[in-house]
Structure 1
Amino acid sequence: MRLKLRGKSFGGRAVLGPLSLEVERGDRVAILGPSGIGKSTLLRIVAGLDPAFDGRLTGADRLATVFQEPTLLPWRSARDNIMIPTGCDGPTASALMDRVGLPGREAQYPRQLSLGQQRRLSLARAFAARPDVLLMDEPFASLDAETATRMIDLTRDLLDDSGAGLLLVTHDPQEPARLGARALRLSGTPAILG
């Protein structure tokens, strides 16, 4: 995945300035910066969710996204939440649920799971898609310290095993080091990578 951004504006206000970003399979990059600087906007551009930017996004990489909120289908079981969007089979979905610490919960619905469990389910769904690059938008925010540590360790192990790259958006300067990611900072108006 390669992004050559000349700029991104909202309502005539420049939010992101010129920047280049490249993340390939096996690379790990974290984007840091204060709230409102444009980190999530940058991630949405990379994910293909915001095509209204001036620049060029290239690469045939297979991407999967984990958002801050789990974005699960509330009317579907946990296992269906993995299988339907990714097309993986039942045994693969169940194995991933085991891997993220949700064994035996395949038939439960998202409302029957805690926030930490929903986030683990979202992580399992992302890896079921077999991504070349995993995109994560503050996935550990609002978790207690112990749960966040377990999620970071689990994410690092899944990345190690799969060989997927990582583009992480975070406020926490400790998360990149714990995930083995190179930290880049967004700053300025409009924001650029420094």
Structure 2
Amino acid sequence: MRLELDGKSFGHREILGRITLTVSRGERLAILGPSGIGKSTLLRILAGLDSRFRGQLEGGDRLALVFQEPVLLPWRDAIANITIPTGCDVDTARHWMEQVGLSGHEAKFPRQMSLGQQRRLALARAFAAGPDILLADEPFASLDEDTRARMLALTEELLTHTGAGLVIVTHDATEAEALRARSLRLSGNPAELQKD
């Protein structure tokens, strides 16, 4: 995946400036910066969810996205929350639920699961899609310290096991360290990437 961004604005307000970014399978990148700097906007551009920018995005990489909130289907059980969005079969969904420690929860609905379990289900769904690159938008926000540490360790293990690349946006440098990701900082007005 390669982004050659000339700029991104909302109305007359320029949010992102000139950014060149290349990410390959197996490479891990953390984009750091304070709230409101444009991290999530940059991730949405990389994900192909925002095409209203000046520049060019190239690459045929298979992507999976993990949002700040789990974004689950409340009317479907855990297995369906994996099979429906990814198109994988039930055995694959069960495999990934086992990988994230959710064996035995296959028939539960999201409302019957804790936030930590919902986050793990969202992670299982992302890996079930078989991504070349995982895009993550502050997926560990609002978790207690123990759950956050477990989720970071689990994500790092799954990335290593699958060989998937990672682009994570966060304001916490310790998350980048835990995931063994190269850090870049988004700063300025309009924001541009700097080595952290």
Q: TM-score, normalised by structure 1?
A: 0.99
Paired positions, count:
194
Alignment partner, residue 161 of structure 2: 161
Q: Aligned letter for 1:112?
A: Q
C-alpha deviations, 1:42-72, integer Å up to 9, x for none? 0000001110000100000000000000000
Aligned counterparts of 1:3 and 1:122: Cα–Cα separation in 2: 26
Deviation at 1:161, TM superposition (A): 0.5
Deviation of 1:12 (Å): 1.2
**3-state DSSP class of the match of 1:151?**
helix
In 2, the alpha carbon distance for the partners of 1:193 and 1:52 equals 19
Task: Specify the alignment match of 1:99 in structure 2.
Answer: 99
Pairing of 1:39-188 with structure 2 (within 5 A): 39-188=39-188
Task: Give the structure 2 partner of residue 2 of structure 1.
Answer: 2
Cα distance per residue 1:133-170 (max 9 Å; x no partner): 00000000100000000000000000000000000000
1:189 shift after superposition? 0.2
Supply the distance in 2 between the matched residues of 1:70 and 1:105 (Cα, whole angstroms). Answer: 16
Q: Secondary structure at the match of 1:103?
A: coil
TM-score (norm 2): 0.98
Q: C-alpha distance in 1, partners of 2:22/2:119?
A: 26
1:29-40 aligned at under 5 Å gives the runs 29-40=29-40
Structure 1: which 5+ runs fail to align? none
Aligned-residue identity in percent: 67
- RMSD, aligned α-carbons: 0.5
The aligned counterpart of 2:192 is: 192
Distance (whole Å) between structure 1 residues aligned to residue 95 and residue 60 of structure 2: 27
Counterpart amino acid of residue 87 in structure 2: G
| Unaligned ranges ≥5, structure 2 | none
**How far apart are the structure 1 equivalents of 2:171 and 2:141?**
9
Alpha-carbon separation, structure 1, partners of 2:104 and 2:80: 14
Give distance in 1, aligned partners of 2:121 and 2:12: 38
User: Residue 18 of structure 2 corresponds to which residue in structure 1?
Assistant: 18
